[in-house]
Amino acid sequence: MKIIIVGAGEVGTHLAKLLSQEKQDIVLMDANEENLNIPYQYEIMTTLGNPTSIADLRSAGVKGADMFIAVTPEESVNMTACMLATNLGAKKTIARISNNEYILPKNRDFFSRLGVASLICPETLAAVEIVNALKTPWSLQWWELTDGKLILVGTKVRDNAPIVNKFLYDLSKDEKIYHVVAIKRDNETIIPHGSDQILPDNILYFTTTPDHVNDIRLLSGKNKIEINRVTIVGGGRIAMKVAEFLPSHIHVKIIEKNKEKCYHLAEKVENNVMIINGDGRNTDLLIRENIKNCDAFIALTENSETNILACVTAKNLGVPKTVAEVENIDYITMAEKLDIGTVINKKLIAASHIYRFMLNADVSNVKCLTFADAEVAELIARPNSKITRKPIKELNLPKDMTLGGKIENGKAEIIDGDTTIKAGDQVVVFCLNSAMRKIEDYFN
């Protein structure tokens, strides 16, 4: 598959590196030569050019490209580049945008006719993940899968958790209300089997149904937290969208050190949002703003180190739930060790969203697990595909892949070894990064 990525910033470069590991034919294009210094170990062709220049697009080989992805910081450049690419022969185009209005369902056909097949807004996707994380404050990650019929919950288990030191085959004797699909232990991600043991401070990823989420909380030894007061440091686009997406009964404070941004925020946000001009790294300011009485603290500045340290300060002041935007991937492990809580990374979110278009199977969703080298995908089982021929325990699935649940005729079911997948079932699949391509062999 030939893929042209326009914009060698953080999102574009990360996506190019991710796809190059799968032996895709990647061309990375940027108007700034300094952005094209890619480490030699990645098999990526780079080209210097203007993405809105027809001559430069032709030179990059846009005619016949299987996918054209425009992820520059400029929304108008991305839209124009995709329109040109479609008319020059690219088969599918994806544009990164910042205007949430463009991705409304009523506008999809309009942009598709213009030549922009798909739109992604990393800031909106990040805001949705933050709001989801506040639904279960005791968890590290929370995702609604298969239109909310199945739930993925990631949580760190402590010494006091009822399931600590137990083997998975012991847990399987209980009623089948959840499935442990991945374990992160130190720097290793494990797709678990019955002989694997749950140890203190492991991060466990569960699939379950909405009515059993509280059972997962009790098994993990976590206390219930009600979110009514939220403090956000950093008044950028993500902060605005979080404030917009949160329920109206939640009181929000946004601390932003840029006075002009504060004025802009004050014009945009609702009455339940208070804007404070100040430096969120200042402990005295946080104490004056009664930070110890807030239920959640969200650090969304442009600096990953600032966000991590601000969350550490908030936890030390007694805030039960913290969320940090950490755009430097190398710092995610540090954030985990410091027990930051939920970590948001726009690069991983955007890459996950785009990655599903690369697979030949019927994929409706792909997500990268922030703390684990693993991914979760939602797939439709095709008629006569390998996954439908035998019960799960007889399929000899690769050790780096497991099935978490399925939707059959609109009903959610947690999968075990005796489950048989039927054609048309919507299935949640978990695998290590190295195994994503193996999925196609089972579902096609």
pLDDT tens string 160-176: 899 999 998 888 666 77
pLDDT tens string 339-377: 888 999 888 888 777 766 665 444 555 666 655 667 787
Q: Give the number of C-alpha atoms closer than 13 A to the C-alpha of residue 307, restricted to the C-beta side.
A: 27
Say what the pLDDT of residue 356 is.
65
Those residues with Cβ within 8 angstroms of residue 275's Cβ, 6 or more apart along the chain or in another chain: 235, 253, 254, 256, 262, 265, 266, 269
DSSP string, 223-292: PP----EEEEE--SHHHHHHHHHS-TTSEEEEEES-HHHHHHHHHHS-TTEEEEES-TT-HHHHHHTTGG
pLDDT tens string 312-328: 999 999 999 999 999 88
Q: Which domains are present in the chain?
A: 2-120 (3.40.50.720), 122-225+320-444 (3.30.70.1450), 226-319 (3.40.50.720)
The whole-angstrom separation of Cα 349 and Cα 238 is 13
- Residue 335, SS3 per DSSP: helix
The DSSP code for 440 is H
Q: How far is CA 433 from the centre of its chain?
A: 14
Spatial CA neighbour of 126 closest among 331, 353, 311 = 353
The whole-angstrom separation of Cα 251 and Cα 248 is 8
Say what the pLDDT of residue 138 is.
92
User: Regarding beta strands 203-208 and 188-190, do their DSSP bridges make them parallel or antiparallel, or are they unpaired?
Assistant: unpaired
Angle in degrees, CA 5, 9, 10, rounded to 5: 105
Diameter of the chain measured on Cα atoms: 64
The whole-angstrom separation of Cα 198 and Cα 201 is 9
User: Regarding beta strands 25-30 and 45-48, do their DSSP bridges make them parallel or antiparallel, or are they unpaired?
Assistant: parallel
Distances (CA, A) of 110 to 79, 94, 213: 13, 14, 39
The whole-angstrom separation of Cα 326 and Cα 330 is 9
Say what the pLDDT of residue 361 is.
45
Residue carrying the six token digits 């991600």: 189
- Residue 120, SS3 per DSSP: strand
The DSSP code for 167 is B
Measured from the Cβ of residue 87, the count of other Cβ atoms closer than 10 Å reads 13
The whole-angstrom separation of Cα 177 and Cα 207 is 9
- Residue 186, SS3 per DSSP: coil
Q: How many residues does the chain have?
A: 444
118 touches 95 (CB < 8 A): yes
User: Regarding beta strands 296-299 and 251-256, do their DSSP bridges make them parallel or antiparallel, or are they unpaired?
Assistant: unpaired
The residues that bridge with 401 in the sheet, in sequence order, are 431
> Which pLDDT tens digits describe the chain residue by residue (444 residues)?
899 999 998 788 888 887 776 667 899 999 999 989 887 778 889 999 999 999 999 999 999 899 999 999 899 999 999 999 999 999 999 999 988 889 888 888 899 999 999 999 989 989 998 998 898 899 988 888 888 889 989 999 988 899 999 998 888 666 778 989 889 888 788 888 888 999 998 999 999 999 999 999 999 989 889 999 999 999 998 999 999 999 989 999 999 999 999 998 998 888 789 999 999 888 899 999 999 899 999 999 999 999 999 999 999 999 999 999 998 888 888 888 888 889 998 888 887 777 666 654 445 556 666 556 677 878 888 898 889 998 988 988 888 888 889 999 889 989 888 889 999 998 988 887 655 666 777 887
The whole-angstrom separation of Cα 42 and Cα 22 is 11
238 touches 217 (CB < 8 A): no
pTM of this structure: 0.81
Give the sign of the dihedral formed by CA 388, CA 394, CA 398, CA 401: positive
274 CB-contact burial (10 Å; exposed 0-12 / middle 13-18 / buried 19+): middle
Provide the b/e sequence for 419-435 (b: ≥16 CB within 10 Å). Answer: bbbeeebbbbbbbbbeb
